[in-house]
Amino acid sequence: MLTSAPLRQRRILAFLEGREFLRSSELAGRLGVTPMTVWRDLVAMEERGVVRRSRGRVARADVRVVEPDYSSKADHAAAAKARIAAYVARHIIREGDSLAMDGGTTVGALAREGLPAGLTILTNSVHTASAFLGHPSRPAVSACGGLLREQSGTFIGREALAFFGRRRASSYLLSATGADAGAGVTDLTLEDNEVKQAMAASAKEVVLLADASKFGEVSLLQVLPWRRIHRIVTDASRSVLDKIARKHTHLVVHRV
């Protein structure tokens, strides 16, 4: 019997791999849990845009599931990412800030910008940490440690979660593979997303850095709902952003 909801939900996605659909009743038997437990899992997964339910059946949603390597992501929309990073450096970051920064390539682009003095950078990313080596502003960089994922160059697991649980940041600069009006901010990997959520919990505010190509995309798992995001910095069109801002009036949108 699987008592962990995240583990059950990962197992459900594995069962659905290569299948058109499964019956909800079949999932209860496979997982060794009650139909009500499966129902709760599927409702949560549908809310995140991961699966679709219909007449006792469940199918995977049409989501992006292939994880590109870091260099491939860095080359995509590079000019837009540079503009976003430049804006954040000039208008969001302040002297003495403590910044939680994940392994996103838009976040990493900040290392090529002039930055205020006295910064502390907290990260789970080998790429982000190494990008700030020799930076003229001399930020203090702390990496969390843990189990290193080769594909993303990020640390995951208990050590990473404990690291951010013990620290407080001025802002969390968040990256993602999808940003959708309904599904919220989404990304590919459960373990990475757990660390992203710990980084968000450690910060006074969460700032999403996302180029226009990320909007309207739904990746595999929700990182955060829009109510947990405070600012968006993006080059997305006003019409796309208005769909989100109308529903979530607390959001401050910075369009570059």
Q: What is the pLDDT of residues 64-86, one digit of tens each?
A: 555 667 776 777 899 999 999 99
pLDDT for the residue 51: 84
Mean pLDDT, the chain, integer: 91
pLDDT for the residue 150: 87
Answer whether residue 162 shows pLDDT above 60: yes
Dist CA 102 CA 82 (whole Å): 16
| pTM of structure | 0.77
Once rounded to an integer, what is the mean pLDDT over residues 46-52?
79
Q: Give the pair of three-digit tokens for residue 55.
A: 């007449």
Using pLDDT thresholds of 50, 70 and 90, give the confidence band for residue 6.
Answer: confident
Q: Give the pair of three-digit tokens for residue 92.
A: 């969001």
pLDDT for the residue 101: 98
Answer whether residue 145 shows pLDDT above 90: yes
Instruction: Yes or no: say if 190 and 214 are a contact pair by the CB < 8 Å rule.
Output: no
